[in-house]
Amino acid sequence: MKGVCYICNKTFSKAGITKHLKTHLKDDGYIRLYHIRIAGFYDPQYWLHIEIPADAKLKDLDKFLRDIWLECCDHLSAFVINDVYYVSIPEGEKDMNFKLGSVLNIGMEFYHLYDFGSQTKLRLKIMGERNGTLKEKVRILARNNPPKITCSCGEKAKWICTQCFYDSEENCYLCERCAKEHKCEEEMLLPVVNSPRMGVCGYAGGIYD
Ligand SMILES: [Zn+2]
Ligand SMILES: [Zn+2]
Ligand SMILES: [Zn+2]
Ligand SMILES: [Zn+2]
């Protein structure tokens, strides 16, 4: 799945974007910044590249992931780093008050889990670091283009029927017109969104969409 570099607005493949971003990310300040690649564990066509200070905490990264891709009804979440769990509301596990720089290094791969019931799992990797400046708490460097999802009639899909999705029926994606005539209850419909949590629980899109 192709995506857009948010710095120069050009389109790149998932493989090409990492190399391309390196041409932008030079040392130009004094804040230690991590470049992180994030992708759906089971849906890698959803991906992001971000920059975040190494001094930020796991809970700051958790907040960002919830805002852009995950939050539906305040479920528990966790990072899994070297098999250690860092949980949003811990019960004996570690919490998320650790600085990224104290638990992560360049090249490390780790995971994020949202909702231990209908779980969405993400794969993250520290691609690099630099000394730079950052205006926002998290800077989006690049993001995948929304997948082109069509209704069986050929129109652009606006809704996903979660009932048909769970039953693995072929036509779970519906355009506005076909949604009106669909056999399942209207409450089963969720919007088609650019996120690996599309169609899960009550997920209706992020604050960046
Ligand atoms: Zn660029
Ligand atoms: Zn939910
Ligand atoms: Zn249905
Ligand atoms: Zn249709």
The whole-number pLDDT of residue 171 equals 85
Q: What is the dihedral of CA 196, 202, 207, 209, to 10 degrees?
A: 60
- CA 67 to chain CA centroid, nearest Å: 9
Please tell me the distance from the alpha carbon of residue 196 to that of residue 42, in angstroms, as a whole number: 8
- Tell whether the model's pLDDT for residue 115 goes beyond 80: yes
For 94, 125, 175, the CA distances from 11, given in Å and listed in that order, are 39, 21, 27
156-208 pLDDT, tens digit per residue, is: 999 999 999 988 878 899 999 999 999 999 999 999 999 999 999 999 999 88
- Tell whether the model's pLDDT for residue 6 goes beyond 90: yes
Contact 134, 60 (CB under 8 A): no
Measure 189 CA to ligand 2 centroid, in angstroms: 14
Measure 188 CA to ligand 4 centroid, in angstroms: 16
40-54 pLDDT, tens digit per residue, is: 999 999 999 999 999
- Tell whether the model's pLDDT for residue 209 goes beyond 80: no
For 37, 58, 117, 161, 166, the CA distances from 75, given in Å and listed in that order, are 23, 16, 9, 22, 20
What average pLDDT does this structure show over 116-136? 97
The bound ligand whose nearest atom lies closest to the alpha carbon of 16 is: 1
What average pLDDT does this structure show over 55-61? 98
Measure 64 CA to ligand 1 centroid, in angstroms: 22
Measure 185 CA to ligand 2 centroid, in angstroms: 19
The whole-number pLDDT of residue 109 equals 98
Measure 144 CA to ligand 4 centroid, in angstroms: 25
pLDDT-based confidence at residue 3 (cuts at 50, 70, 90) = very high
> What domains are there in the chain, each with its CATH number?
3-144 (3.10.290.30), 159-191 (no CATH)
pLDDT-based confidence at residue 69 (cuts at 50, 70, 90) = very high
Q: What share of the chain in percent tops pLDDT 90? A: 94
- Tell whether the model's pLDDT for residue 97 goes beyond 90: yes
The bound ligand whose nearest atom lies closest to the alpha carbon of 172 is: 3
The whole-number pLDDT of residue 174 equals 96
What's the chain's average pLDDT? 96
pLDDT-based confidence at residue 30 (cuts at 50, 70, 90) = very high
